[in-house]
């Protein structure tokens, strides 16, 4: 029979594959506290992978024992299975191996590809950019489109296009730079990496795309928030919003449409959020959300490691 552990993990995996990401994706509170929401998304991703692979593994190993430590020890010491090993056990074991390899493999591949592209960009940049006079640690790229970006890594690069410098005043430029510095300081590219990889690994799972879009939006909001803490001036929120609108509507905004549905609405959400900031999450709600994220990780881990009841 199906061990209770496997059943519980499967239920959890199903919840994390669709209803939970759908709920969090639609919730309004994440924009009140992007950092807590980001923690929740990471927990969902990690717990989801852990529970689906765990469910398959526990079921596949059931003939050797009803919990992972028990069955694992039996397999490793070469003990014979206590119950007959049926076809479905082999199927789930194979699925567990394939899924684990795919998730980790795509993650590694995505990492490597990203690193290669970044290296190429850095090589190009080091040749064509010059130090920006206005901002000491930024580089200036001669191009009319108003663009700012950063290349994360051991030697991060912050790049502003000449179009961006020309269209913004000093305060707005400082806001843009503070936003990009926040990305670099908090290593936001690492938050995104698993979701980029898992969207590529599981294109059939709508939750993967939804999670990726949500995390991308939250990372931008978080960078906005962090940028605001270091900005001076009468109305930094408005300054940053102005910079966003200029950058979004500039000549560089004419990117082929179709690719923009996600980015477009996210830009709007950022501007609205800056102009009429939502109340911050009360401490109790913050704590509850973080507790949920912790439990989300703890439950599948406990199910996997505790002996079967």
Partner 1 sequence: MASLGDLERTVMDVLWAAEGPVAAAELRDALADRELALTTVHTVLSRLETKGFVEHDDARPRRFRPRATREQHAAELMHEVLGRSGDRQAVLARFVGGVDPEEARMLRQLLDGSAPDAGTR
Tell me how far apart the alpha carbons of residues 309 and 297 are, in angstroms, rounded to a whole number.
20
Q: Given candidates 72, 74, 102, 118, which one binds partner 1 under the rule CB under 8 A?
A: 118
Q: Residue 57 or residue 219: which is nearer to partner 1 going by CB?
A: 219
| Orientation of helix 261-275 relative to helix 236-249, angle to 10° | 160
Largest CA distance in the chain: 74
What is the size of the binding site for partner 1 (CB under 8 A)? Answer: 65
CA 231 to chain centre: 26
Taking CB under 8 A as the rule, does residue 286 contact partner 1? no
Q: Which two tokens stand for residue 157?
A: 């690069």
Q: Residue 72 or residue 252: which is nearer to partner 1 going by CB?
A: 252
Instruction: Quickly tell me which residue has 């927990």 as its tokens.
Output: 43
User: Quick one: which of 103, 94, 6, 102 has its CA closest to 46?
Assistant: 103
User: Quick one: which of 230, 220, 244 has its CA closest to 147?
Assistant: 244
Least separation in angstroms between CB 24 and partner 1: 20
Least separation in angstroms between CB 102 and partner 1: 16
User: Quick one: which of 264, 204, 274, 272 has its CA closest to 238?
Assistant: 274
User: Quick one: which of 285, 284, 181 has its CA closest to 228?
Assistant: 181
Least separation in angstroms between CB 23 and partner 1: 24
Q: Which residues pair with 161 in a beta bridge?
A: 141
How wide is the angle at C-alpha 221 spanned by C-alphas 242 and 223, nearest 5°?
85
Binding pattern for the stretch 85-114 against partner 1, x by CB under 8 A and - elsewhere: -------------------------x--xx
First-last CA distance in the chain:
14
Least separation in angstroms between CB 292 and partner 1: 27
Q: Residue 82 or residue 113: which is nearer to partner 1 going by CB?
A: 113
Q: Residue 264 or residue 307: which is nearer to partner 1 going by CB?
A: 264
Give the range of 29-37, 95-103, 141-149, 280-288 binding partner 1 by CB under 8 A. Answer: 141-149
> Does residue 224 contact residue 240 with C-beta atoms inside 8 Å?
yes
Taking CB under 8 A as the rule, does residue 180 contact partner 1? yes
Q: Which residues pair with 131 in a beta bridge?
A: 139
Give the ranges where the chain is alpha helix by DSSP (H). Answer: 4-17, 19-26, 34-60, 68-76, 87-128, 162-167, 170-185, 188-201, 206-230, 236-249, 261-275, 283-305
Give the range of 19-27, 33-41, 215-223, 292-300 binding partner 1 by CB under 8 A. Answer: 215-223
Taking CB under 8 A as the rule, does residue 152 contact partner 1? yes
Tell me how far apart the alpha carbons of residues 39 and 36 are, in angstroms, rounded to a whole number.
5
Give the range of 51-59, 93-101, 126-134, 287-295 binding partner 1 by CB under 8 A. Answer: 126-134
Q: Given candidates 254, 279, 283, 309, which one binds partner 1 under the rule CB under 8 A?
A: 254
Q: Residue 109 or residue 287: which is nearer to partner 1 going by CB?
A: 109
Q: Given candidates 47, 176, 202, 289, which one binds partner 1 under the rule CB under 8 A?
A: 176
Residues 37-76 that bind partner 1 (CB under 8 A): none
Footprint of partner 1 on this chain (CB under 8 A)? 110, 113-114, 117-118, 121, 123-128, 141-143, 145, 147-152, 161, 164, 176, 179-180, 183, 188-189, 192-193, 196, 200, 216, 219, 223, 234-235, 238, 241-245, 247-249, 252-257, 259-260, 263-264, 266-268, 271-272, 275-276
């Amino acid at each position: 029979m199906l061990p209770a552990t496997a059943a519980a993990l499967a239920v959890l995996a199903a919840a994390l594959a669709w209803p939970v990401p759908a709920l969090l994706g639609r919730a309004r509170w994440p924009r009140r506290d992007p950092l807590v929401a980001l923690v929740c998304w990471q927990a969902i991703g990690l717990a989801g992978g852990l529970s689906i692979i765990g469910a398959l593994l526990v079921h596949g190993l059931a003939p050797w024992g009803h919990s992972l430590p028990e069955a694992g020890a039996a397999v490793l010491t070469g003990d014979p299975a206590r119950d007959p090993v049926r076809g479905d056990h082999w199927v789930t074991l194979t699925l567990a191996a394939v899924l684990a390899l795919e998730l980790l493999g795509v993650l590694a591949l995505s990492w490597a590809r990203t690193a290669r592209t970044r290296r190429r960009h850095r090589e190009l940049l080091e040749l064509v950019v010059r130090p920006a006079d206005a901002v000491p640690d930024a580089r200036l790229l001669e191009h009319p489109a108003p663009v700012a970006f950063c290349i994360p890594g051991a030697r991060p690069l912050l790049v502003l296009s000449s179009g961006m410098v020309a269209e913004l005043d000093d305060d707005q430029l400082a806001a843009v730079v503070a936003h990009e510095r926040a990305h670099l300081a908090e290593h936001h590219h690492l938050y995104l990496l698993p979701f980029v990889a898992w969207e590529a690994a599981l294109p059939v799972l709508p939750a993967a795309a939804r999670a990726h879009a949500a995390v991308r939006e939250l990372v931008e909001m978080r960078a906005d928030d962090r940028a605001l803490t270091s900005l001076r001036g009468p109305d930094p929120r408005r300054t940053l919003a102005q910079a966003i609108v200029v950058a979004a509507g500039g000549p560089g905004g004419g990117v082929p449409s179709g690719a923009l549905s996600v980015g477009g609405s996210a830009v709007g959400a950022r501007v609205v959020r800056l102009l009429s900031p939502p109340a911050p999450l009360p401490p109790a709600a913050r704590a509850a959300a973080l507790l949920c994220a912790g439990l989300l990780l703890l439950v599948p881990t406990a199910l996997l490691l505790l002996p079967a009841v």
